[in-house]
Amino acid sequence: MEKRSDQLPRRFHALGDPTRLAIVERLAAGPASVSTLAAPAAMALPAFLKHLAVLERTGIISSSKIGRVRTCRLEPQALADLDAWLSDRRRLWAQRLERLAGLVDDDPDRKRE
Amino acid sequence: MEKRSDQLPRRFHALGDPTRLAIVERLAAGPASVSTLAAPAAMALPAFLKHLAVLERTGIISSSKIGRVRTCRLEPQALADLDAWLSDRRRLWAQRLERLAGLVDDDPDRKRE
């Protein structure tokens, strides 16, 4: 299996959780510290850190530490890759519908009606 | 939590698996029978049917049975919803960058340089 296909399901899986989606929604507005991100989540910090680790491992977010504060930021290219895959599938599906519509238009039986 | 947010992580989760991604890729080319879809998957049919059920439960695919043949098809609106969420997050992120660039341009300290 090619590398792209390998990373793709892991990234979709990373977004397949309400806590992790909420983190991405917050980071779309700008970088935030781990404690800021953790505040609205109704869970213990170790569980929350595991969610952050899943997002970071798949390249959806990155983080850096200055002093005692770790700041997370969104990596939009990872979202763009998912976006591109979804758009491609939808385009293929629409092209097939157009081809079918073309076949119906060319159908001599239909023209006789 | 609103309905949209509830369905969204379940749909991302449904795509977070190589077998299920391969099913969606195949169905983007057109409807297919369960046996056609199962043929390339290296797993027993009951395990494969569970993957199909995950996709159907989240509205990413639908299926209908004629005689003994069950045919699956892609439901592109479900993919469009995910696509829209990803695009919105990326747009927010880009807008923030633009605002930051604007602030830097307006900085009087910077103009004096």
Q: Give tens-digit pLDDT for B56-75.
A: 999 999 999 999 999 999 99
Give the number of other Cβ atoms within 10 Å of residue A19's Cβ. Answer: 20
The SS3 assignment for A93 reads helix
Contacts of A17 in chain B (CB under 8 A): 9, 13
Distance from CA of A34 to the nearest CA of B (A): 18
Predicted structure pTM score: 0.85
For chain A, give the mean pLDDT: 89
Percent over 90 (pLDDT), chain B: 73
Per-residue pLDDT averaged across A90-99, rounded? 88
Q: Find the residue in A nearest to B15 (Cα).
A: A12
For A33, counting Cβ atoms within 10 Å of its Cβ (0-12 exposed, 13-18 middle, 19+ buried), the class is middle
> Is B83 close to A79, i.e. CB distance below 8 A?
no
Size of interface A-B (CB pairs under 8 A): 104
Structure tokens at B25: 């890729």
Q: Find the residue in B nearest to A73 (Cα).
A: B93
Q: What is the pLDDT of residue B106?
A: 75
Contacts of B18 in chain A (CB under 8 A): 1, 5-6, 9
Distance CA B97, CA A25 (A): 16
Give the number of other Cβ atoms within 10 Å of residue A70's Cβ. Answer: 15
Which of A73, A77, A83, A97 is best to mutate for the B interface (most B CBs within 10 A)?
A: A83
Q: What is the pLDDT of residue B69?
A: 95
Q: Find the residue in A nearest to B24 (Cα).
A: A89
Let me know the angle formed at the C-alpha of A103 by A98 and A107, rounded to the nearest 5 degrees: 150
- Cβ(A74)–Cβ(A55) below 8 Å: no
Q: What is the pLDDT of residue A63?
A: 97
